[in-house]
Structure 1
Amino acid sequence: MKRGKQTCRILKEIRRQIAEANDIDFITSECQYQGDCLGTCPKCEAEVRYLEKQLLSRQRAGLSIKTVGVSLGLSAALGSSALYGQETAKDSLDKSPSQIEVAGKKSHARADSLTSVKSADTLILQKEDGLFGMVEASPTFPGGQKALFDYIKNNFEYPKNPPSLSGRIIIQILITKKGEITDAKIVRGIHPDYDKEALRVIANMPQWKPGTLNGKPVDVKYSIPVIFRAKQE
């Protein structure tokens, strides 16, 4: 089962890279599947179906499809059963929105109409002597992923006179073993005012349920990307 979970994480990262290479809004969430699996869980299978649908739409629109080189090698090594897993259960990606609209004040929200929020896929355990490894259970926001989206959507306030821009802000935080948010910093910014507001919103989040390793709470680094798309004139 340990190997299955590790394979699941690797494939999840591959899907994220393919989505990013093709400019597809894509949300991944932590695996909650209990039991011995072939490397994917029902939610992961839903992610695969969503990604396939989006890639097919791009192809039908005459757009080129970009692939991630590492995925081809892993596909051959793991086989299709590892990529797609067992039969799909009731879980559906439709329950996890792939695009979140963040509405600022009407007078300020004209330049940017949509903001997507993606959950982090890579979680790194932090030890005193540096990076340690992967956690077995990732931290969770109170109420789950949708509640995190709603929190950012409802609390982000567009700066006055925002420039018309598109881009991604990546905020890295440390979620302590007590679930507290510390060390919030911008890893990738798009505009000083937007970066500052994103930091404010993230730094004021309520306590999370901490990540665990071997059944014990641990400090975990977590990245939250927020994507802005400028309104098309």
Structure 2
Amino acid sequence: MAAVSSSSLAQSGLNGGKPIITYNTYGPLPTIKTQTPPSFPGGEDKLNAFVLWQIEEAETSLKLGRKTWLTATLDGTGKVTELVPTYDSDPTLKKEVAEVVTSMPRWNPGTINGKGVETKFQFLLRR
């Protein structure tokens, strides 16, 4: 039986766990990738309340299920560019949810290495 140290085990992830080194004219640069997901101001409970309130204020009466999944697409500044039901194909629901985008405040954007990036955020709308 061979002895194996923890440092010799392969790690999963980017490049099979091997470090990625980027070079410039001065030599190697460390590559640090920090990521943060987007977030609604006030958290997911406030997001849920905001979307439900907007749908209830709509002109058409809409019956939502107890649980509805929505997918938000955000640009690098935190502006919601699209909001769609994830699994439901009801055209009335799609229309009403799309109209929520116009009144939605800016979110804290998703970032990679401190820069805002376009992201998709899926969340559960609970009644």
Q: Using structure 1 for the length normalisation, give the TM-score.
A: 0.33
Partner of residue 174, structure 1: 73
Aligned equivalents of 2:98, 2:47: Cα separation in 1:
15
The structure with the larger Rg is 2
1:196 aligns with 2:95: yes
- Counterpart position of 1:143: 42
Match of 2:114 among 215, 218, 225: 215
| TM-score (norm. length: structure 2) | 0.56
List, as ranges, runs of 4+ consecutive aligned residues in structure 1 with deviation greater than 4 Å.
none
- Give runs of aligned pairs for residues 106-121 of structure 1, distance below 5 A: none
Of structures 1 and 2, the one scoring higher in RCO (CA 8 A, sep 6+) is 2
Deviations 1:148-169 (A, max 9, x none): 1221232222733x56x74654
Tell me the secondary structure at the aligned position of residue 40 of structure 2: coil
Matched residue pairs, number? 93
Matched to 1:141, the amino acid is: F
In structure 1, runs of 5+ residues without a counterpart are 1-134, 229-233
Question: Which secondary structure does the structure 1 equivalent of 2:99 belong to?
Answer: helix
CA distance in 1, matches of 2:68, 2:108: 24
Alignment of 1:75-114 (within 5 A): none
Relative to its length, the structure with more strand (as a share) is 2
Report percent identity of matched pairs: 27
Q: Which has the higher helix share?
A: 1
Structure 1 residues 219 and 190 mapped into 2: Cα distance closer, same or farther (>3 Å)?
Answer: closer
Q: Partner of 2:52 in structure 1?
A: 153
Distance 1:153 1:205, change over 3 A: same
Letter in 1 for 2:48: F
